[in-house]
Amino acid sequence: MPKLVDAEARRREVVDALFRVAVRDGLQRASLRAVADEAGLNIGSLRHFFASQQELMDFAMRSMLDRVTGRVLRRVERIGDLAVHDRPERLRLAAELLGELLPLDERRRAEVTVFIDFNAAARTNPAFAELAHHTAVGTRRLVHRVLTRLDDCGTLGVGRDLELETERLSALVDGLGHAAALHPEVLGAPSCQAVLLAHLTELAR
């Protein structure tokens, strides 16, 4: 059992090192050797856990999704029943929840950066296509769930088409994430949060 725990801890260390390399140099340049150097390991040790760069990238993406999913679920639990809050607070809580998908701090900036690079790689690499599709579908399910909860407690405007609004809000989240990750000096975290809250407030009219 201790060996398994050590192996899992080492994998996390390697993924963290990959994130640092990806943010600094781009995911495509995160070779096994570059990640090994960043993690302070020799290449042979790294190959014990990952046979190829593709395998490492896939594991890193899945790890990132697990991290984000875990944070979202914990935030959902803390929010509880939205109906117990007043309307402005419901909208603020919903915006904070969706903010887990945006680069609002260094941790989330690294995650969104890896996400962008991974999806760019998936466009031409069939090995990543299924996971990229799964991620896109998962984002829309989360957005739809948030909008449904707001609608169920009477927060959204009457007659809103939830399917259409899911696509609109998903596109907004994607756009904010890309712009803020690529040009943080143009679109900072406060602006991202303000735009997201403004959009939700418009939906509540």
Q: With the C-alpha atoms ordered 10, 12, 16, 19, is the resulting torsion angle positive or negative?
A: positive
CATH 1.10.357.10 domain position(s) in the chain: 54-203
What pLDDT shows up at residue 3? 52
Give the tens place of pLDDT for each residue, 173-201. Answer: 999 999 999 999 999 999 999 999 999 99
Give the tens place of pLDDT for each residue, 85-118. Answer: 888 999 999 999 999 999 999 989 988 998 998 8
Fold of 1-51: Arc Repressor Mutant, subunit A (1.10.10)
Give the tens place of pLDDT for each residue, 32-81. Answer: 999 999 999 889 888 888 888 888 888 888 888 888 888 988 888 877 77
CATH 1.10.10 domain position(s) in the chain: 1-51
Domain 54-203 has CATH 3.20.20.370: no
Q: Residue 167: which pLDDT band, with cuts at 50, 70 and 90?
A: very high
On the CB side of 171, CA atoms within 13 Å amount to 6
